[in-house]
Every structure is written in structure tokens, then in C-alpha cells.
A = this chain, B = another copy of it.
Amino acid sequence: MENIKVILQYEGTRYQGWQRQERTENTIQGRLEALLSKMCDKKVELTGSGRTDAGVHALGQVANFHLDTEKTPEEIMEYMNRYLPEDIAVIHAQKVPERFHSRLNAKGKTYVYRVLNSPIPHIFDRRYVYQLVEKLDMEVMQQAAGLLVGTHDFQAFTSAKKGKKSTIRRLDAIEIERIGDEIRFTFRGEGFLYHMVRILTGTILEVGMHKREVAGMKELLAKGIREEAGFLVPAKGLTLVEVRY
């Protein structure tokens, strides 16, 4: 058996997210598994570095799968790209040690959230940016981001119900840049909770619109109440850029 690691790109617009579901074939994992199973003429399971939600994109999602094959990684990649739909692509494939696991071995991830801060639409990026016309104060957004970076309990910044699993995460960096009409949020961390990047972005944007105070970030982290944090920004602005090992 070979263990193959692939780096994937996809546009999430058409899909119900990464994770395979019983009721629909319309997930990224489902499409990939169906194709690999056809290639090998037996069921192949694919492990991703983590789920992405419906509508979220990827420039560098990582997955791995075990299979018996005489094909080289390059040939597997070529086969996959020939039959995958046009909004999913394999950009790299390699053999990895038997024990490599895309999710358990992931050391960190980078997500980018793109906001178009202009009344003029950007036709060519419209599926990848969230348009927000309100004026945004960069300085207070940077300050709020600074208070959110670090190891914290991010209970207030997830849509997951409170359970036994830890909601403590290490958030290494939030960079906020203005590139022309676009404001780009880059999040680097060891791992992210369900909806965490999108709620962090929404909360920081509310600070930028002067709808909430910078200092409120500390209280949000301390109290851990989802309803007191900001809005969930739309999925289409979010891209998983990199998974580090």
C-alpha cells in the first residue's frame, strides 16, 4: 500500500463543503473519493487536513489516501485532473511515509478572508470576496486583532455548541492589509474552531465600522458568549491557503 499526499485547490461555490455526506455527492471529499475509488476499482477513503464549510475555497488544502497502485504520484495527479470537475484541481502529489496523516500531523494553517471595501463591484473576483461598502478604520481593526492573537479560549468565536472538547487554540497572527479596494485578513494558527475565522473577521469588521470597542475583545474572550461576538461573514470570502506540517 502506498500513502499519497495531495495538495488541492477548489472553488467552494458549488459544493456543500468538504466533508462527505450520506445524502449528497456534492462535497469535495465525496467527489475525490468517488474518482479515486473508480481509478482503483475499490473503495478509497480520503483524509483531509480538516473540513471547509459550504462555499469556502482552497488554494492549498491537503489530503492523503492509501491505495495499491503501480501509478506514480504524477500519474495519479494527471488522472485526477483529467476527470475532476473544473472547479477542483490537484496541484501536487507525492508519496509519504505510511504513518503520515493529513489531519493529525497538521501543525498549522493559514486562512485568508477577502473584503471588497468599495461600492464598485469587482466582477472577476466576485465569487471570492465579500463586498462591504461601509468605511473601515484600519487602525482600530489592527488593535482589535492584536488583542485576539495568542492562546485563548475562543468559545465566543465558534458556532460549535459548548461540549467536552477544548475550545482553547493558539492564534499566531492576524495580518490586515489594504490592497487597493480590498482589505485582506490573514489568519495563522495551529488550528481553528468551527466558523472561528469568519466570526473573528466579522467581529474585527464591526470594530472597524465603530460598532464595537477595541477593548471589548478582552471581555469576549473572558466571557465566551457567542451572541456577544460579531457577525458571521459570508463563506465566499474565505480561502484555506496553506496547511503546515
Chain A interface (Cβ within 8 Å of chain B)? 9-11, 57, 59, 77-78, 81, 86-91, 119-124, 126, 128
A57 CB, min distance to chain B CBs, angstroms? 8
Closest to A88 in B: B123
Instruction: Report whether A89 and B123 are in contact in the complex, using a CB–CB cutoff of 8 Å.
Output: yes
Question: Bound complex: CA of A119 vs CA of B77, how far in Å?
Answer: 10
Q: Which of B9, B90, B119, B123 is close to A124, meaning CB atoms less than 8 Å apart?
A: B9
Question: Bound complex: CA of A123 vs CA of B78, how far in Å?
Answer: 15
Question: Bound complex: CA of A126 vs CA of B90, how far in Å?
Answer: 14
**A11 proximity list for chain B (CB < 8 A):** 123-124
A120 CB, min distance to chain B CBs, angstroms? 5
Question: Bound complex: CA of A215 vs CA of B202, how far in Å?
Answer: 60
Instruction: Report whether A121 and B78 are in contact in the complex, using a CB–CB cutoff of 8 Å.
Output: no
Would you list the 6 A-B pairs with minimal beta carbon distance, nearest first? A89-B121, A9-B123, A89-B123, A91-B120, A11-B123, A86-B126
Question: Bound complex: CA of A76 vs CA of B123, how far in Å?
Answer: 18
**A124 proximity list for chain B (CB < 8 A):** 9, 11, 57, 59, 128
Instruction: Report whether B9 and A81 are in contact in the complex, using a CB–CB cutoff of 8 Å.
Output: no
A62 CB, min distance to chain B CBs, angstroms? 16
**A122 proximity list for chain B (CB < 8 A):** 89
A-B contact pairs, 22 of them (CB 8 A): A9-B123, A9-B124, A10-B123, A11-B123, A11-B124, A57-B124, A59-B124, A77-B120, A78-B119, A81-B120, A86-B121, A86-B123, A86-B126, A87-B123, A87-B126, A88-B123, A89-B120, A89-B122, A89-B123, A90-B120, A91-B120, A124-B128
